[in-house]
Each structure stands twice: as C-alpha cells, then as structure tokens.
Amino acid sequence: MNISADRYVKETNFVTREIAGETVIVPVRGNVGDLDSIYTLNDIGTMIWQLIDGKKNVGQIVESICNAYEVTPEEAEEDAVDFLKSLEEAGLIRRSNE
C-alpha cells in the first residue's frame, strides 16, 4: 500500500474558524455545532488542513511540511499520516476516489 499517493477531501459537515491564531474545527450534526467535538489545530495541523483539497496527495503534503519545518521526511510522513487518520476517523475528511 502506497499511502503517499492517497488524496483526501474535506467533508462538508463542519465549520472552520481562525481564532487567536489557531484553527478551530466544529463538526455540525443535525444543523447544530457539536461543541463536544471541537478540534483545535496547531501550526502543522493547520498547514495539513489547508493542503487537503483532493488534488494534493500525502507525498506532496509531506514535502510541504519538510519545506516549511526542520523535520525529516520520515517524521513528517508519520505525523501527517497519523493526523490524516484521526481526521478521517472523526468524519472530517475522506479518501478521494479521483
């Protein structure tokens, strides 16, 4: 399995806001914000979130992280894959079929 070729797209059932320099994601369920499931992203999480567009694959996201931060490609890939899995499990993103 080549995870670096996987692409993800965001689901539409959430609201994203920048508050005090942090990205906050609030899932929306039944037309109401689920305040028990708020996600606050750090700088790298925000970067990954912004790069999820269905066009960039995991390898390209990892490359962007390595260019922006002093981190090895292996560390960047491990962290990115873990983060993407957690977003997927939370129902905020899904693998793109394209």
Q: Which pLDDT tens digit goes with each residue over 20-41?
A: 888 999 877 666 555 567 889 9
C-alpha dihedral, 70 to 73 to 79 to 83, nearest 10°: 110
Ramachandran assignment for 57, one of left (phi > 0), alpha (psi -120 to 50 degrees), beta (any other): beta
Ramachandran assignment for 19, one of left (phi > 0), alpha (psi -120 to 50 degrees), beta (any other): beta
Element (H, E) at 63: helix 58-68
pLDDT at position 51 over 80: yes
pLDDT of residue 32: 56
DSSP label at 78? H
CATH number listed for the domain at residues 3-93: 1.10.10
Q: Which of 6-15, 17-26, 70-79 has the highest mean pLDDT?
A: 70-79
pLDDT of residue 35: 56
Residue-range domain boundaries for the chain:
3-93
Q: How many Å apart are CA 33 and CA 45, to the nearest integer?
A: 21
pTM of this prediction? 0.85
